[in-house]
Structure 1
């Protein structure tokens, strides 16, 4: 009886569910498309110093190109810091929309110099008068620009910093209109928008 019990087949043990492999990667295997995209990204990443320098140079070149384009179109995102923002954009439009005697400065000074080289006392006197009158008119124009601009800025941008606004406006108005950068976006006499944001 005991021997029969010894050779009797025992009941099979209940199987335990398979556990995860210890030390596995813990994520699904990437598809071929994902693996190729990752390889392309790694290939684009500069590794050596030479590649990093080339990448920095390319980025600087791209930024310069965008800035040059913004100087023509007035795109505020890529302008230099000194030209960026609604206050500076309004100042540019305000200066560009008004006729300024400063724009006549170069031609009048050239005439006065030509008259001064004639050697005739009367023409030299006229040349000096033209030069003196031009300088006085420009000074009066700058003073008027300053007061009118400050009034406009306080009305349109209350509470905002307008530091350096007058100097920015004067430097822009001293340039001939076709030489100004960023390029003028308004014509002389054009009505300006009520809001700049």
Structure 2
């Protein structure tokens, strides 16, 4: 009994857990690997916001007009030069360029139609309502139209053979494209003729 009492009087050994040392450098701050804290959503949205309405509306409108005017001028110069980037769909393609060069190379009676028609119209005005002058003017005008159409037909026959020999086929609408260009005044044609003088046919 004495032995048991002696053992019971001995206080039990206290077990101590090792202290845990927290390294502040290893604590995640939500931005590991970035080197800086992630910005808040509202701050990011505020940084990306752009004003919908410029502060100076007059200056913005003036700049827009200047830019639009410059774009139109550049497009017009490109059309005059035959630049494919600025041409309309009906003018694009090697075959259409060939048609333009062929029409511009020959003397077409159709290109004189508008100037002659204007002269005849002025003649009728100064004729004072004379019946004979009106009849002669109309006869001359219709005769010019018929001759110009026949000349355009001859032009198209030769051009069609050249197109088939060079491109193998003739695109739909080419006959109208060539005829309308033949009836335009040479200086007013767009794209502009590649050569200033007649007689230079495409190869």
TM over 0.5: yes
Q: Which runs of 5+ in 1 are unaligned?
A: 1-17, 30-41
Query: TM (normalized to structure 2)?
Result: 0.60
Residues 149, 166 of structure 1: 8 Å contact kept: no
Work out whether 1:149 is the aligned partner of 2:159. yes
- Counterpart pick for 1:158 among 165, 168, 174: 168
Note the aligned Cα RMSD (angstroms). Answer: 4.7
Work out whether 1:73 is the aligned partner of 2:81. yes
Deviations 1:49-93 (A, max 9, x none): 999x97xx5775554332111122222222222212211111111
Work out the number of aligned pairs and report it. 174
- Counterpart pick for 1:178 among 140, 163, 187: 187
Residues 109, 130 of structure 1: 8 Å contact kept: no
Q: CA deviation at 1:165?
A: 0.9
Residues 153, 162 of structure 1: 8 Å contact kept: no
Query: TM (normalized to structure 1)?
Result: 0.62
Work out whether 1:136 is the aligned partner of 2:123. no
Q: Which runs of 5+ in 2 are unaligned?
A: 1-25, 37-48
Task: Name whichever of 150-159 and 62-71 sits farther off.
Answer: 62-71
Q: 1:89 to 1:26 in 2, by over 3 A?
A: farther
Deviations 1:98-149 (A, max 9, x none): 100112213332444415835273x555434322321111110121122222
Q: 1:130 to 1:76 in 2, by over 3 A?
A: same
Task: Name whichever of 103-112 and 180-189 sits farther off.
Answer: 103-112
Q: 1:89 to 1:127 in 2, by over 3 A?
A: same
Residues 71, 181 of structure 1: 8 Å contact kept: yes
Residues 91, 97 of structure 2: 8 Å contact kept: yes
